[in-house]
Homo-oligomer: A and B are copies of this chain.
Amino acid sequence: MKTYLECIPCFLRQALEASRMATHDDGVQAKIIRRVLRETANFSFSLSPPHMGQKIHRIVREETGDPDPYRAEKLRYNMLYAQIYPQAKKMVARSENPRDSALKLAVASNVLDFGPPGFNLGSKIGSILESALSEELAIDDRASFWRTMEKAEEILYLGDNTGEVFFDRLLLEHLPVEKVTFVVRGGPAINDITMGDLDDTGLNGFVSVVDNGSDAPGTILEDCSPEFRQRFEAADLIISKGQGNYETLSGIDKHIFYLLKAKCPVLARDLDVAEGSLVVKEVLPKAV
């Protein structure tokens, strides 16, 4: 997906958020913003938004010397999701169609906003999960998803955010896990999952995990390691989680299921769904 002009104010908002995550020094924050403004002025809008995201978060890391500004935020989200995972798992097991429920929760896990630090999840989480489970999908290729899963031999599951990885696990429990490789980012990129964020998530050991060799908040194939690109080429099915992966892979000639919540108006328009929609969208490779 190309970068739309509406993405530009958003880039600056992201840069400011990341700067503040990394430093309290106004001067450094201002320096970051000026560099991001210059980079954005010269950015090719035919590239995807995560291309610019990668530049932004590299600048933040360079100027602050903080190798992973979102580290604390990521730990917090992992902890929160760890707390609700057992309850979500029971809910899925008790539901009419457990594998569809697991799929839906994996898609909807982007939705789950736990509020400011100190927010008491305990009393709310039941209804949060219930409402996620009862939400309709705006694009619903679930039937094909399960049919395809049975036939696929090599499946790559491209992860997105820390925290949500617990709900990816919930879905992985219903997939032919021996055929799946879970993919994390090669380096810190916003709150995206990396190897270092997998501790205590139970994913290591449960499914084979690789990193893609890139610090982009998406999957920019030409920026990924040769090993990952080879795997991507060889896989007969890709499960792509989240907006960043969609933005960077849409247009790629491959059999892909996009699982995402359309969290911004630009992406919603690109997919022709309402903002906030849940999506399980299949894209088939061109006939060979």
Contacts and interface: CB of A to CB of B under 8 A. Distances in A.
Interface of A: 5-6, 8-10, 12-13, 16, 19, 26, 29-30, 33-34, 37-38, 40-42, 45
Contact of A33 (B5, B10, B26): B5
Contacts of A13: 9
A25 to B, nearest CB: 12
B5 A30 contact: yes
B12 A9 contact: yes
Main secondary structure of the interface of A (DSSP, over half): helix
Copies of this chain, tallied across the complex: 2
Of listed A12, A26, A29, residue having the most chain B CB within 10 A: A12
A43 to B, nearest CB: 9
Contacts of A8: 12, 16, 33, 37
A33 to B, nearest CB: 6
Contacts of A38: 37-38, 41
A110 to B, nearest CB: 22
A239 B225 CA distance: 63
